[in-house]
Copies of this chain bind each other. A is one copy, B any other.
Amino acid sequence: MTVDEAERLDTADPLAFARKRFSLPDSLIYLDGNSLGALPKAAPSALATTAERQWGQDLIASWNKHQWIDWPAQIAARLAPIVGAKPGELLIADSTSVCLFKLLAAAVGARPGRRTIVSQQANFPTDLYVAQGLAEMLGLQLKTVPGEQVVDAIGSDTAVVTITHVDYRSAAVHDMRALNDAAHAAGALTVWDLSHSAGAVPVDLNGCEADLAVGCGYKYLNGGPGAPAFAYVARRHQAALRQPITGWMGHAAPFAFSDDYAPAPGIERLLTGTPPILGLAALEEGVRLIAEIGVELLAAKSRALAQFLRAAVAEAAPGLPCVSPDEPAPRGSHLSFRHPEAYAVVQALIARGVIPDYRDPDILRLGLAPAYLRFEDCRHAAQALGEVLASGEWQKAEFHHRSAVT
């Protein structure tokens, strides 16, 4: 995996144009787009327009004049094809965790008498925490099992199965179709977390008959730090589904100020408070860019980057175990490697301007954001990783100090 090979692949890359749409520092090799996606070049001016012209000049009239009130649905409509949803099935709202709480609660409410939420032990922790909080509040059972046992854990008491589509550690992908079928056969619903999927790997919510889903705006969708999240409700469930955080924006007539809550007829019933317009302005640029590129090109590039990086790491750091699946088909858009001192290795790489991600307890994660990553970035990162391991520079004390956020 030489410099020449990387250059040849970058030159032939049909997505080379897309990188120019992002603002990326020259000094960094950024392999953490799955924690925080890069800044679309169009985002700062969208923020400036929203703040200075709309908020500053048109003030309250902007809700109508600039259609702020419609932004959660408009951005969602742009995002819908990226995850295989129809326009009216998706909405932007809150954070991923709050959306998950709403949908889990709605699913439990739609399956009265069933008292169990099924999930995977290695699910993303916040997903488990949210399920725990809901279970505690309602006196439900949260049953977590190893990933390969989830299907068998679904039973007649299961109200809902919640799982993350792409495993945040290993990048293993759950079979969405099979799990939906198993849940439906038992009369249960599914809630998918697409945080590590949307914008990088193909997702077909409709085709797989998924019931409900949530996902993150600030990873592969490049919506900015703490961007609003998205939530999906299949059309067939929308009329019956009730979520519990019933604020005015989810009301059928928010400005009639009637005494009693009545849910909006469609997906808007998921809304609660006033939409976060500044966050939405940035997210819109991220979603627009990903939607323009299209998920097929992004997924193909992701696979090619992973294949190249895997080979480059095998050459540069022989013996470092990769914990991600071999084949691209059931794999997300990152590769994870195991090292007992992964935290310090990550810090040593950061000191060299290569930004991977550490995940407790021993995972070195290399995220491959297909919209802006180059093959040369992967080659450079593999080389740096090989040098860090061979030289033992990760053993320096300075690389073992833990920061607030890891």
The residue that A246 contacts in the complex, of B25, B129, B224, with Cβ under 8 A, is B129
Please give me the residue from chain B that is nearest to A223 by CB atom: B278
A278 interface neighbour in B47, B125, B128, B359, Cβ under 8 Å = B47
| A141 interface residue (CB < 8 Å to B) | no
Which residues of chain B are near A138, meaning CB under 8 Å?
137-138
- Nearest residue (CB) in B for A406 is B255
Interface residues of A in 43-59 (CB under 8 A from B): 43-44, 47-48, 51-52, 55-59
Bits for A20-51, please: 1 = Cβ < 8 Å to B, else 0. Answer: 00011100101010011011000110011001
**B36, B60, B257, B359: the one within 8 Å of A355 (CB):** B60
Tell yes or no: A276 within 8 A of B by CB.
Answer: yes
A103-142 contacts to B, CB under 8 A, are 105, 109, 121, 125-126, 128-130, 132-134, 136-138
Answer yes or no: A391 CB below 8 A from chain B CBs.
no
CA distance A144 to B260 in the complex (A): 11
**A225 touching B39 by the CB < 8 A rule?**
no
How far does the alpha carbon of A246 sit from the alpha carbon of B280 in the complex, in Å? 24
Determine whether A394 belongs to the interface, using a CB cutoff of 8 Å to chain B.
Answer: no
A244 within 8 A of B: yes
Which residues of the other chain, B, contact A129 by a CB distance below 8 angstroms? Answer: 246-248, 251, 261
* Complex alpha-carbon distance, A70 and B403, angstroms: 13
Are A225 and B55 neighbours in the complex by a CB distance under 8 Å? yes
Q: Is A292 an interface residue (CB 8 A)?
A: no
Does any Cβ of B come within 8 Å of A328's Cβ?
no
Is A98 in contact with chain B by the CB < 8 A criterion?
yes
Binding site for B on A (CB under 8 A): 23-25, 28, 30, 32, 35-36, 38-39, 43-44, 47-48, 51-52, 55-64, 68-70, 94-98, 101, 105, 109, 121, 125-126, 128-130, 132-134, 136-138, 144, 218, 224-229, 242-249, 251, 254-261, 272-280, 282, 350, 355, 357, 359-360, 403-406
Add 4 more A-B contacts to A47-B278, A95-B274, A98-B98 (CB < 8 A).
A96-B274, A97-B248, A224-B278, A278-B282
